Every structure is written in structure tokens, then in C-alpha cells.
Amino acid sequence: MKDPITFLKLLKNTLTCLLGLAGLLLLITGILLPGLAQRPAKIPSASAASAPKKTESVRPQNQLWQPPKTDSIPKISEIELIRYGKELIAHTADYLGPKGTVMQISNGMNCQNCHLDAGTKIMGNNYAAVFSTYPKFRARSGTEETIIKRISDCFERSLNGTKPDSASKEMTAMIAYMKWLGKDTPKGIVPKGTGLEKLAYLDRAADPKNGQIIYKAKCESCHGVNGEGIPNPEKGSYIYPPLWGKNSYNDGAGLYRLSSFAGYVVNNMPFGASYENRLLTEKEAWDLAAFVNSQPRPHKDQKNDWVDLTKKPIDFPFAPYADEFTEKQHKLGPFKAIADAKKERK
């Protein structure tokens, strides 16, 4: 081209068109691609996650529950809350124990001492059905309870401490983790392998003396001669938790009932046991429960529990009752006669 000015104008116009076309392509890409990408489910806040809803019927499920894989948690800011929630369940004392880095509100035990493997173990008191069944009516309080209320009870009873603030990051994180664990469990469904096994009642009373023999043979090496556990002094936590004494669960905890303790240990203790590989018989589990729960531990004021005596569990060890059986029989059994009498009253 002979005219250099005309050539430069033409070149400038061409470049301008190309840049405009590139910008348009980038804009289209920015609009379309996010819609095509797979996005993780949004995790609600603690208040939204636990707001009271209409209670639905709870239905058992025969298929054995399997927890979601940890590596399936996306690495985004909301899901980091789930990871923090898991860490709080697994290492509660590091954050909230006597030497906790966040606050000091518990006894040095961890949530996973009762909810094994951070609430994921089959028949290990797992969290599979927490989000599918809460909110729900609980006879102990006589009210419909949210997940916040349930977690608060665990802190005040099993951890013999003070409940976290309902709006705290810690409460929000624990709820987020429990919701994620139950994300594949439909509302109202209780998967097989959830919670604790309900053992058949013995034909006799549970025997603390026989339980002591079992404890010495199978439990003492980890939990100590006096049930004191094996502490980790630097962190104010435990390698193996105390089963009685001032730093153990108090007498308002669920495990203080023999049926709960027996259902817990039969599939999980001693170390290495599972529901597929029991290391205790059911009779041993009942007797061991009788021995451990006959030892001293902190007391919880329970005057507001079980306002409807007809709904009080038959192995709840404190009077008053809606029947004429003694406090000792309600604690140690035999339980069949109490259960039969309760059925007749209905």
C-alpha cells in the first residue's frame, strides 16, 4: 500500500475488531461455564440448619449406612467449616478442653470418645441419622429438640462442662459436619448401623462383681486401675478417656444407663472390636456396664428431666418412677419384669 497513513488506519481498525471479538468470546465463556460446572451444596448457618421444623416420622432402613469419604469435601470456604467441625468432634479437648486454644468449657474428653471415628463408625454411636431425624421430640426434656439443644446436652452431660454459644463458630461447624455426614440420608430415615445396638435384656440382674473381673482383664490396660484413663498432660486431653472419676461423663449422660453402655461396648470395646468382630459377649457387656456405672462420677442436676414419668427409660437409675420397682432394680435389673409392667400400662 502506497499511502502509509491509510495502511495504519486500516491496521488499527482490524486490531480493534479482533480485540472486540476476543472480549465477546470471554464474556460468553464467563456466562456459560459456571452454569455447567458442578457446584457443592450450600451449607446453611447453625441457626438455619437447626431451626425447628415439623417433626417427621422416623423410619428404619435396612441398608447399612456408609459415611461419605472425607476427600469428597470440596476445598472452598464454606466447606472448610465442615473440616473444622470434624476436627472439633475428633479433638474436642484441644480446642474446648481444660487447656483449649479457643475456650475452656469441657472435661478433657473428646466427642469421638463416645461417637467413634469422629461419628462415622458403624454401630459406634455415629451421626448418620442426626440431620434426618432432628428436630424431634425427646422424652427426657419433654420438648421438641433442635440439633443445637442435643449438642449442648452432650457438653453438659458427657463432657461434664458448659455448652458453647449457639451462634458460635464452633457450634456452627459441628452442625455443618453432622449435616455433611448425613447428606445422603433422606429425611425421616434411620440407616442400618446407626447409633447403638439395643441388646436383649438379661434374665438376671447385671453383676458389677463379674464386671470388675472383665474390666481388669480387658479394659484396665487402657483405662487405668481406677478408671482414670491415660492423660495427655501437655494438651489437657486423654489418649484413652477416663471411665469414672471427676473427669469422666456425669450421671446425667446417656452412657450412664446400662443399656446404652452395654450397647456401646459390645460392638466397640476393647480396642480392635467392631460389630463384625465382637470381643465381648452380650452378658459381659451388661456386667461391665454395671461395674463401670457403679463407680463414682460427677453428679448432674436432673430435676427437670423426665417430667412424664411414664416415658422414663426402665434402666434410668434415679427415682421417682411410674411403677413400684426399686431404684436398684431400675439400675441393675433384671429388667424384663419392669418392661412387661410398662407394656401392661399402655
Inform me whether the pLDDT recorded for 171 exceeds 60: yes
Q: What is the pLDDT of residue 271?
A: 95
Inform me whether the pLDDT recorded for 236 exceeds 70: yes
Quote the pTM value: 0.80
Q: Which of 62-66, 96-100, 177-181 comes out lowest in average pLDDT?
A: 62-66
> Which residue from 324, 339, 116, 152 is spatially nearest to 252, judged by alpha carbons?
152
| Burial state string for 79-108 with b = 16 or more CB within 10 A and e = fewer than 16 | bebbbbbbbbbbbbbbbbbeebeeeebbbb
Q: What is the pLDDT of residue 66?
A: 85
Distance of CA 229 to the CA centre of its chain: 21
Inform me whether the pLDDT recorded for 170 exceeds 90: yes
Cell numbers representing residue 78 in the block = 464454606
Spatial separation of the C-alpha atoms in residues 257 and 62, rounded to whole Å: 26
For 17, 223, 236, 271, 327, the CA distances from 230, given in Å and listed in that order, are 75, 6, 11, 14, 33
Q: What is the pLDDT of residue 76?
A: 65
Where in the chain are all domains bearing CATH 1.10.760.10?
A: 49-192, 208-345
Spatial separation of the C-alpha atoms in residues 63 and 246, rounded to whole Å: 40
Q: What is the pLDDT of residue 41?
A: 38
pLDDT grade for 4, boundaries at 50, 70 and 90: very low
- When pLDDT is averaged across residues 135-154 and rounded to a whole number, the result is 98
Class of the domain covering 49-192: mainly alpha
Spatial separation of the C-alpha atoms in residues 141 and 81, rounded to whole Å: 30
Distance of CA 307 to the CA centre of its chain: 25
- When pLDDT is averaged across residues 275-298 and rounded to a whole number, the result is 99
Inform me whether the pLDDT recorded for 22 exceeds 90: no
CATH topology of domain 208-345: Cytochrome Bc1 Complex; Chain D, domain 2 (1.10.760)
Q: What is the pLDDT of residue 63?
A: 74
Inform me whether the pLDDT recorded for 32 exceeds 70: no
Spatial separation of the C-alpha atoms in residues 143 and 34, rounded to whole Å: 44
Q: What is the pLDDT of residue 208?
A: 99
Cell numbers representing residue 44 in the block = 446453611
Omega before 270 within 30 of 0, i.e. cis: yes
- When pLDDT is averaged across residues 220-245 and rounded to a whole number, the result is 97
The pLDDT tens digits for 289-340 are 999 999 999 999 999 999 999 999 999 999 999 999 999 999 999 999 999 9
300 and 252 in contact (C-beta within 8 Å)? yes
Average model confidence (pLDDT) for the chain?
87
Share of residues in the chain with pLDDT > 90 (%): 75
Would you call 182 exposed, middle or buried from its count of C-beta atoms within 10 A (0-12, 13-18, 19+)?
Answer: buried
Spatial separation of the C-alpha atoms in residues 199 and 72, rounded to whole Å: 35
Q: Which of 76-80, 214-218, 275-279 comes out lowest in average pLDDT?
A: 76-80
> Which residue from 214, 180, 338 is spatially nearest to 287, judged by alpha carbons?
214
- When pLDDT is averaged across residues 106-132 and rounded to a whole number, the result is 98
